Amino acid sequence: MTDIPRLALNDGHTIPQFGFGIWHVPVDVTAKAVESALRLGYPLVDGAYLYDNEEGLGEGLRRSGVPRDDVFITTKVWNNEQGRARARASVERSLKTIGVDQLDLVLIHWPVPEQDLYLETWEAFIEMRDEGLTRSIGVSNFNADHLDRIITATGVTPALNQIELNPELQQPRMRAANAERGIVSQCWTPLGNGRSFEKEPIAAAARRTGRSPAQVVYRWHVQLGTAVISRSINPAHQAENMEIFDFELTGAEMDAIAGLDIGLRTGPDPSVFKIL
């Protein structure tokens, strides 16, 4: 079983550097996919009530036989559930749906600056953390100005900021902004839908190491120091995705991959995204 490193959070807790995400995992296979991932040794499951499959997350956890304390569980509060009362209701609903007494991490899914509720939501998160509903609190898709507003207003810095990150969207400024504030960067869509797999820096590293392009990209994330969310419902692919801790990319290979950054998003811009 692969030994997954853990990253220190600014609240005294730690988070596994590599985990399994259930975004776009069909409802009818979520439990099976989560069970498989946990049995293979994945230490983290990243979910959200919006994904409509948190019940399967809980069922997969119970079927796996892996102790609850050995699994890091994340959920998120969606855009139309921001605000003090709604955010609390969302978190309590996720706890009930998953079937656990405490979450490891709760994130504000998007800042949605137009509705101007993310600060109030952050204040609710602090209250819920202090009450023990979750151990850690963080954000997702926040820009530096969003971070500074909630930190200045509350004195509480998010433990983590989950952002889109892949070889064609490397976000060096946002990663630096997170690091300057002591915030762990965690990436979603880490493979960038495979758009960079045939690019020479990835292909060359795959040839040298005898690994797949996906493994090379996951390893690139790890060496950047980010936390990574992977996704597959195929047990063989789940196992392959996790086999990234027994090889290293060279400095030259990391530099070559850095040259693939073209700022191309697969998702929306957090500054303007407002779907509720």
What amino acid positions are annotated as catalytic residues? 51
The closest alpha carbon to 168, from 186, 194, 144, 188, belongs to 194
39 CA to centre of own chain: 20
- Which distant-in-sequence residues (6+ apart) come within 8 Å of 65 by Cβ? 39
Rounded to whole angstroms, how far apart are CA atoms 38 and 52? 20
Give the C-alpha separation, 8 to 262, whole Å. 30
Residue 238 CB partners (closer than 8 Å, separation 6+): 20, 33, 36, 37, 40, 42, 230, 232
DSSP reduced 3-state for 195? coil
